[in-house]
């Protein structure tokens, strides 16, 4: 069995205060108020860190923890790009970050929603954004 399957999903947790933790989670669910994170490279005898959604900006589900520092962020949508991941969305966050992707589950009254990046070369598989950290969402046609 692969190590990732044992440890859980690879995630990068962005907190509201700007801090970041990388690690694995086996119990992240968008309808729960908390989950546990096994921090990358923590000693095996150390307990997982309890993370509360109310303290977060977003949870990034990633392909790997290194990423590509030379990757240029794609701004906008490729011409005629459509997706099985839902409708196009541009999300603006309190810290000024703007994310482009697709969502099926946006509802302003929920705690958060998933955004699937439109950039196929992104290290992000999907992002769970906390509604309390989002300032604006628009749905371009």
CATH code, domain with 17: 2.30.30.100
Residue 80 lies in a domain: no
CATH code, domain with 98: 2.30.30
> What is the four-CA torsion angle of 111, 113, 57, 91, rounded to 10 degrees?
-120
Place of tokens 């703007």: 98
Convert the pLDDT of each residue in 19-29 to its tens digit: 999 999 999 99
CA pair distance 10, 25, nearest whole angstrom: 7
DSSP 3-state assignment of 3?
helix
CA pair distance 125, 61, nearest whole angstrom: 5
Q: Which of 28, 62, 96 is the C-terminal boundary of a domain?
A: 62
Domain interval for residue 55:
3-62
Query: What's the domain count of the chain?
Result: 2
Q: State the pTM of this model.
A: 0.87
Convert the pLDDT of each residue in 57-104 to its tens digit: 999 999 999 876 776 776 777 666 566 678 999 999 999 999 999 999
Place of tokens 């977060």: 56
């Amino acid at each position: 069995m692969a190590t990732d399957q044992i440890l859980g999903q690879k995630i990068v947790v962005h907190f509201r205060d700007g801090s970041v933790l990388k690690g694995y989670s086996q119990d992240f669910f968008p309808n729960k108020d908390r989950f546990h994170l096994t921090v990358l490279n923590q000693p095996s005898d150390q307990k997982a860190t309890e993370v509360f959604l109310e303290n977060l900006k977003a949870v990034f589900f990633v392909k790997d923890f290194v990423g590509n520092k030379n990757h240029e962020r794609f701004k906008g949508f490729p011409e005629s790009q459509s997706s099985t991941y839902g409708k196009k969305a541009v999300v603006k966050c309190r810290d000024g970050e703007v994310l482009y992707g697709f969502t099926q589950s946006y509802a302003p009254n929920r705690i958060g929603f998933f955004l699937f990046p439109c950039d196929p070369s992104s290290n992000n598989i999907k992002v769970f954004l906390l509604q309390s950290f989002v300032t604006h969402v628009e749905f371009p046609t």
